[in-house]
Structure 1
């Protein structure tokens, strides 16, 4: 009991003295604009402030265009459960384009959306649904 109390007191003194710092949360993004091209939004901070800015307009509205204001990047996401072999193409009007294959409610990698327009198209079975530009 005495040993445990000494350890706890010692740790408290180290923290109070600034010798051991607690990890701090970072508010910085992990990419911005073109540096986000091809990155998985789940592996960045971009998903933290993402919002849906456009939806598909096909007979089956399946696609969402997600946008992160802090990263200035966009990606596509299936809002339906897509069957195996489905794909999402994310594009911007600078000619960048990425294709991500998957199934279920999956999403694409990101594309730069800083001062350009981006859109996403999802394809499954014989269906295609594209979002408006944002």
Structure 2
């Protein structure tokens, strides 16, 4: 017996449900020897293979999804999560939070504002790392993040930059973000986070 021919009502029900599902999915395939195959072949005669005279079954229809009306290709990507980050903790030191997906789950754990500037200590739980971010900071300032181990990453703020951030440091110990004039110890820092 052909594997798709049914010998019992239960098998007929399963075969019918499978055909209906396949047709509902856009006719990606139709099972040979089922009513769905014949229905699909009748619905698309230009693409159907004609049945042989001795064979009462219709051949499966050929389906090209790109030619279907209303077809929209979809590209699936894995979610960008810290689990996909190439680094964690000390392994992230010196890395860009945006380039490692660490910014995706970041939260601000400490901040301060003054005149027109806002400085934030950003933390990624998934990457176990921290970095400093400043918005509207004046040119000539230095933004840095440091941890209690003494590891520091900094960036100089130039004209025309409205948002800057540092590379990351390991946040398994306390960290803070600081901003101050270039070559000066007169800095303002967030609390240790």
Same fold (TM over 0.5): yes
Question: Structure 1: 5+ residue runs without aligned partners?
Answer: 11-20
Instruction: Supply the distance in 1 between the matched residues of 2:116 and 2:78 (Cα, whole angstroms).
Output: 44
2:165 maps to: 107
Q: Deviations over 1:85-125 (max 9, x none)?
A: 322111001111111112322111111002x0011101258
2:16 maps to: none
2:112 maps to: 56
Verify: 1:32 aligned to 2:88, yes or no. yes
Q: Root-mean-square deviation (CA), in Å?
A: 3.2
TM-score by length of 2: 0.52
Residue 50 of structure 1 contacts residue 69 of structure 1 at CA under 8 Å; is this kept in 2?
A: yes
| Segments ≥4 residues shifted beyond 4 Å | 57-61, 124-127
Residue of 119, 128, 131 corresponding to 2:187: 128
Between Structure 1 and Structure 2, whose CA radius of gyration is higher? Answer: 2
Verify: 1:89 aligned to 2:144, yes or no. yes
Question: Structure 2: 5+ residue runs without aligned partners?
Answer: 1-45, 48-61, 67-74
Q: 1:8 to 1:86 in 2, by over 3 A?
A: farther
Which protein, 1 or 2, shows the higher relative CO under an 8 Å CA cutoff with sep ≥ 6? 1
Instruction: Supply the distance in 2 between the matched residues of 1:106 and 1:43 (Cα, whole angstroms).
Output: 14
Pairs aligned (count): 121
User: Which of the two has greater strand per residue?
Assistant: 1
TM-score by length of 1: 0.73
- Residue 82 of structure 1, CA deviation: 1.4
